[in-house]
Amino acid sequence: MPTKAERTTAYIIETVAPIFNKHGYVGTSMNDLTEATGLTKGALYGNFENKEALALAAFQFNSTLLLKAIDDKLNIEGTALQKLFSLTDFYRHYNKFTASMGGCPILNVGVDANNNNAPLKSAANETLRTIEGKIALVLENGVKNNEIKLPVTPLQFAKQLYTMIQGAIAMATIASDRKYLINTVAYLDVLVKKEIKK
């Protein structure tokens, strides 16, 4: 059973994660954090060394949720194609998944931290690479099981697929128009069938 201190730390992270994700590291003030948690600045700093450590923990919390959801979609029973379509279906409804997080953590944190917070940028980059690796593994197993054919290496195909998804998330976010994401995912489904289905 977690201690009171562990429960407090978990409560803080869970409470501030969507705030940092939505407003960014620079755009989130200590006032925002104390107001959301109902704790004093001293209580927050009693659990975290500084604002940067708290922001990093908040991103890792959101990242863990995202990676678990992707694992759930890719670890279904079935062929590589079925797993890929499970993933594209997840992204078709991605806005519902990220609503409580304040948006896509990779997009928000990756862009926000690009020029002002190296540890956060590195964490976002690591999550991005992890997702690409998970997709590549599905593709690699699909090739081994003679289910699909690839015009390039599994990792290269995974990177291109994920680039299109993440680009569509960015466009949908900037334009406040889900059609960018929905249409891109529909196109990816067609592309996957056409390009790699045996």
The pair phi, psi for residue 197, each rounded to 5°, is -70, 135
Q: pLDDT tens digits, residue range 136-194? A: 999 999 999 999 999 999 999 999 999 999 999 999 999 999 999 999 999 999 999 99
What 3-state class would DSSP assign to 8? helix
Q: Is residue 198's pLDDT more than 80?
A: no
Q: Which pLDDT score is estimated for 115?
A: 87
Which phi and psi (to 5°) does residue 40 adopt?
Answer: -80, 165
Q: Which two tokens stand for residue 197?
A: 């289905």
Q: Does residue 6 or residue 186 have the better pLDDT?
A: 186
* Side-chain half-sphere exposure of 124, counting CA atoms within 13 A: 20
Q: Give residue-wise pLDDT tens across range 37-87.
A: 999 998 888 889 999 999 999 999 999 999 999 999 999 999 999 999 999
pLDDT of residue 141: 97
Residue 118: pLDDT over 90: yes
Segment (H or E) for 106 = helix 105-112
The residue assigned the tokens 């977690």 is 2
Confidence class of residue 112 from pLDDT cuts 50, 70 and 90?
very high
Give the separation between CA 166 and CA 154, rounded to whole angstroms. 18
- Better pLDDT: 5 or 60: 60
What are the Cα distances from residue 138, in Å, to 18, 55, 62, 89?
Answer: 30, 32, 23, 16
pLDDT for 177: 96
The average pLDDT across 14-20 equals 96
pTM value surpassing 0.85: yes
First to last CA, the chain: 50
Structural domains of the chain sorted by starting position, each given as residue range(s) with its CATH number in brackets: 4-196 (1.10.357.10)
pLDDT-based confidence at residue 2 (cuts at 50, 70, 90): confident
Contacts of 72 (CB under 8 A, 6+ apart): none
